[in-house]
Homo-oligomer: A and B are copies of this chain.
Amino acid sequence: MITTPVTEIPLVSPGDDVGGLLLNGLSENEIELENGDMIVVAQTIVSKAEGNVVNLESVRPSSEAERFGEELGKDPRKMEMILRETESIVRQAHVLISQTKHGFVCANAGVDSSNVGEGKVTLLPRDPDRSAKEIRDLILEEIGKRVGVIISDSWGRPFRLGAVGFAIGIAGIKPLEDLRGRKDAYGRELKSTSVAPPDALAAVASLDMGEADEKIPAVVIRDPPCELKEGSISDLIRSEEKDLFR
Contacts and interface: CB of A to CB of B under 8 A. Distances in A.
| Most central of A11, A105, A204, A236 by chain B CB within 10 Å | A204
A165 B197 CA distance: 10
Nearest to A159: B105
Contacts of A195: 154, 162-164, 206-207, 211
Nearest to A207: B200
Contacts of A14: none
A203 interface: yes
A39 to B, nearest CB: 15
Contact of A203 (B200, B212, B237): B200
A162 B1 contact: no
A13 interface: no
A211 B186 contact: no
Contact of A235 (B3, B161, B188, B194): B161
A156 B97 CA distance: 20
Contacts of A243: 158-159
Interface string A6-17: 000001000000
Given A91-B244, A113-B188, A159-B245, 19 more contacts: A1-B2, A2-B3, A104-B159, A114-B188, A115-B186, A117-B186, A154-B191, A161-B236, A161-B238, A161-B242, A162-B192, A162-B194, A182-B212, A183-B212, A185-B213, A185-B215, A200-B204, A201-B207, A207-B224
